[in-house]
Structure formats: structure tokens, C-alpha cells
Amino acid sequence: MSSITLDNITVDIPILGAGTRSLKNSLISAATGGTLKVRDGYKLSVRAVDGLSLELNHGDRLALIGHNGAGKSTLLRVMAGIYPPTEGSVRVEGRIAPIFDLGFGMDPDSNGWDNILLRGIALGLSLDEIRPAVQEIAEVSELGEFLDMPIRTYSAGMSARLAFAISTSVRADVLLIDEGIGAGDAAFLNKAKQRTNKLIEEAGLLVLASHSDQLIVDWCTQGLWLEHGKPRMIGPVEEVLWHYRVSVEEAAKASA
Amino acid sequence: MSSSTILEVHSHIGWPRMLAQAAADIGGGLQRWRTWTFLSSHELRRQYQRSVLGPFWLTINMGILVGALGWFYSGVFGQDIESFLPHVTLGFMVFGLISGIINDSCAVFSGSAASIRQSQLPLSFYVFKLICRHVIAFAHNFSIYVVVWLFFPIDLGWSAFLAIPGLALILLAGFFAALIIGPLSARFRDIPPIIGSLMQIFFFLTPVFWNADALSDRAYFVNANPFYHYLELVRAPLMGSAPATLSWVVAGGLTAVLAVAAFIFFARYRSQIAYWA
């Protein structure tokens, strides 16, 4: 069984920009008894998620909806255990697969076969898990002999296909997906759709952050609308999406 | 499918939990040894991709350096080249390993920021990968020593095998040092240049390409330098003599202290690394 329980989560992301990251300022602020601290605002941070509680169970398919910077990606990273929250606690049951950036981990100078391994490692698989799946991934990618070539020689569509084939080969109980996964050319899309559907059906739990209404409605049953890191609305996905769209349009009208 | 996997993260946890999680992180990193050996050798190969000799360029670079400096400085210091060249060769090899690990540990987390924010690999994984990459490079460089050993009279006995525990101590100390330097460098971006210049100074202060015997009245100066002891643990056995007891004591003691300090430090700040990197 898979489940996600978030209990009153707050995430402050420290901004270690100019002035705050340097050792000199920390030493000076320590030596001057914190006067600089006040002026610099030593602990500058952005509150990305603000007091969020959430309970997801086996079978739930949740879409995270909201503007850029609403905290969708941060929340996914909290669920993956990558960002430990500043306040609150997280409990996730089941094997987690975070799929954030489809092509992450791939190396342009290595050939397709090596990249299957590299991308698989970035997805958190062990070599023992990837190696048996290599042949199947190669077939899905339909790249044939191109797999022997370094992927810098691929067209954008070809590398997207390979990345897609690898990323959708993971089997997990809890699937965390950021942004759209539906890349590739028309001929590939049908196959892609079947494959993503299978991936999602097999996972016990899905959390998707996306700006694509189509993807959200196709894949998810519930929606969580985030605004400035706070939950604005949670409920059936169509309803939440509708309210979100209305508010976006109203905001556009108001500013016009 | 291991559906019993449970992730639990709490914002405010006590020391016992922090230490347990740090231990789990290091254990999880160790468990993935096949992955980091694959990745580190892949990284090295990629660096020399499409070159005919591949990573052996590392060896050739060092071979030329050691040959030229050995020949030149044996004249400057008025030393016998037959013992001086092996001394310099091992000095460069071993000090190169130590300083390479320390310098690279500055970027062990900040250089992998994207990966840390994308995948759930234990943080110690990146440190293991770093150490492994240097071990592979060292193994390539070791062939220089073999060549030197073939052409110069080095009288090796069973004590040569003492170089193995010596090397292990260097790698252990490097691992723990990186657990401290890595997060610190990610948080404070002034640390890498400071460490870079310190290592440069220590390169000259440590008897890498000069002989410690040359400073009979300043032995304390060499003995107070921890890098000297680590260097000697590997160099002395491969030169045909056993390392001094003092070197074992200093290097062993320092590694133990480093291990405890690094473990506590890593446990305390591990949760911040994803934010700092």
C-alpha cells in the first residue's frame, strides 16, 4: 500500500545570494554582535510551502495546480524526501520515483546505451534494475542503430524519445511527476500515451505538477490549488481547475 | 516491488535521530558501490573521450612531470637520482591523491546541485563517487611507479604491503574530510579558494619533491605536518622501508578524530545540503 501524509508542512528556502553566502559576512556578523545581521537580513529566505497538511492514499491521483512559484515543485521535492521541511513532518509509504526533468542525467557525449544506464541511475534505479530493462527501453525508443551513436548527434525529438522511454520504465508505488511528459513526434505519441497510461495505472499513487490542463484532466482525479505555498482549494480535479481558471481570468481582467 | 519502503522526515528531530539518519545515508551510499564505481569510471573516460590514450593521459602527464622534476631537482639538491627519482615519483602520486580529494571535495555537493535536487540518492553517494574517481586515477598513476621500480634499484620487502593500509587511511580520512568540506563549501563559497591556496602551500611545505632529511634541525616542522605522515605511510613502504611509528599514530589518530567530527557534522547539517548546494 502506498500513502503520503504531510503534517503542517512549511518550507523556507534560504536565499544564499550575494552577501549572505560569504564567510566574511558571517564572521563579521559574529564579531560585531549581529549589527550587520539586522542590516543584511542574514537569514533571508522564501517561504515556498506554508502550513500545508495533506493525506493521500492508495489510488489517489493528485494534480498540483497553480502559478509559477506557487510551490508545486518544492512540494514534490518534499514528498520525495529531497527537501526536508522547515516545519512539520512527512511520511511516505511505498517506493518513490521522482520524475522531474525528463532528460536529466543524460550525457551528450555518451552513446544511447550508456545513457539508458545514466538516466536510470539518475532516476534512482540500481544497475541491477536497469540492465534487464535496457533491451525493452531500446525497443520503445525505436532508435535502432542510433543507440550506438553519441546522443549529441540525435535530433531533439530523438533524444526526447530516448529520455521518455527510460523515464517511463520505472516501476514505483508513488510517482511524482513535474511538468509534461508528452514529448515526441506524432507517430510516437500514440505509443507514448499507452506507455504513460500503463506507468500511471501501475503506480499506487500519482502526484503531478503541471500547467497543461489536458494532462491534468487526463491523468488526475483530484486537484490541489496552491497559491503562495498555501492550499487555496482541494477537491475533484475539474472543479478545482475551473475555479483556478476563473481566478486567472479575473486577475487578467483586473490588470487590463 | 518493495512497498514496505517508508520515508519519514520530521523538521525538528533530536540528535539520536539525526545520527541514525546520517548512518543510514552513509550505509545507503556504500550499498550503491556498483553504481558509483560505474559512474566514476564513466566520468573519467568521458574526460578523455575521443583521445587515443584515454585516461592514460593522466599517467603520461604525471610521468613527464616526475621525470623532469626528478632529474632537475636531484641536481639542484645535489642528490643521487637513483633514490631521488622514486622519492619524487611517489611524492607526486600520493600527494596528488590527497590534494586531489581535498580540492574536489569543495565541489562534491555544489557541483552536483542539479542531481541532488532531482534524485533521491543518499548524499554520501556523491562523496563515495569522488573518492572512487581518485582511486581509479591513482591506479593509473601507479603504473609510473612500476616503471620506476623496474629501472631503479628499489629494495622491496614484505613491508611494501604496508602501503595498502596506509592508502586505506588516506581514503578514509579523505572521505570524512569531504563530508565536512563539501557542505561547508556549498554554504560558504569562500571556502574553495581558501582550501585551494592552503593545499598549494602544503604542497611546498610537505616533503613531496624534497627530502625530509635535508632539514635535520627542523624535524619538528615536518613532523607537525599531518600531510607528511599520510604521505609517508604509502611512500616509505614502496621505497623499501617501514613507516615510522609516529606516522601511524598521527595519521591513525587524526583519521579517528576526523571520523567522529565528520559524522557529527554531517548528521547536523545533512538536511540543509539540498538547500545549500
DSSP states along B129-167: HHHHHHHHHHHHHHHHHHHHHHHS-----GGGGGHHHHH
Q: Which residues 17-56 in chain B show a CB within 8 A of chain A?
A: 32, 34-35, 38-39, 42, 46, 49
pTM confidence score: 0.90
Contact between A205 and A174 (Cβ < 8 Å): yes
8 Å CB contact of B10 and A83: no
B274 — contact with chain A (CB < 8 Å)?
Answer: yes
| Residue B127 domain flag | yes
Which tops the pLDDT comparison, B192 or A213? B192
Contact between A184 and A157 (Cβ < 8 Å): yes
8 Å CB contact of B34 and A110: no
Query: What DSSP element (H or E) covers B128?
Result: helix B124-151
Output the pLDDT for position A28. Answer: 62
8 Å CB contact of A95 and B5: yes
Average pLDDT over residues B4-18: 84
Burial grade of B177 (CB within 10 A; 0-12, 13-18, 19 or more):
buried
CA dihedral A157, A162, A167, A170 (to 10 degrees): 150
Output the pLDDT for position A60. Answer: 93
| Residue B251 domain flag | yes
Name, of A24-33, A100-109, B64-73, the range with top average pLDDT. Answer: B64-73
| Closest chain B residue by Cα to residue A46 | B275
pLDDT at A38 over 50: no
Output the pLDDT for position A40. Answer: 42
Which tops the pLDDT comparison, B88 or B219? B88
Q: Sorting pLDDT into bands at 50, 70 and 90, what band is B220?
A: confident
| Residue B206 domain flag | yes
B120 — contact with chain A (CB < 8 Å)?
Answer: yes
> Across A137-237, where does the E strand assignment appear?
174-178, 205-209, 222-227, 230-236
Rounded distance between C-alpha atoms, residue B118 and residue B144, angstroms: 40
Average pLDDT over residues B232-245: 94
| Residue B133 domain flag | yes
| Residue B16 domain flag | no
Output the pLDDT for position A36. Answer: 37
Please tell me the distance in Å from B178's CA to the nearest CA on chain A. Answer: 18
Output the pLDDT for position A25. Answer: 63
- Structurally, how many domains does chain B consist of? 1
8 Å CB contact of B9 and A114: no
Phi, psi at A3, each rounded to 5°: -160, 155
| Closest chain B residue by Cα to residue A12 | B275
Output the pLDDT for position B186. Answer: 94
8 Å CB contact of A124 and B187: no
Q: Sorting pLDDT into bands at 50, 70 and 90, what band is A21?
A: low
Please tell me the distance in Å from A245's CA to the nearest CA on chain B. Answer: 29
Residues of A whose CB is below 8 A from B121: 124
Which tops the pLDDT comparison, A226 or B211? A226
Residues of A whose CB is below 8 A from B39: 118, 121
| Closest chain B residue by Cα to residue A14 | B275
Rounded distance between C-alpha atoms, residue A222 and residue A47, angstroms: 25
| Containing structural domain, residue B133 | 32-276
Q: Sorting pLDDT into bands at 50, 70 and 90, what band is A33?
A: very low
Output the pLDDT for position A187. Answer: 57
Strands across the sheet with A87-93, in order? A45-57, A3-14, A87-93, B6-10
pLDDT digits (tens, 9 = 90+) for A228-238: 999 999 999 99
pLDDT at B141 over 50: yes
To probe the interface with B, which of A46, A47, A93, A174 has the most B CB atoms within 10 Å? A93
Average pLDDT over residues A171-188: 70
8 Å CB contact of A21 and B191: no
Output the pLDDT for position B47. Answer: 82
For chain A, the average pLDDT equals: 85
| Closest chain A residue by Cα to residue B34 | A127
| Residue B21 domain flag | no
- Domains defined for chain A, CATH in brackets: 3-95+213-255 (3.40.50)
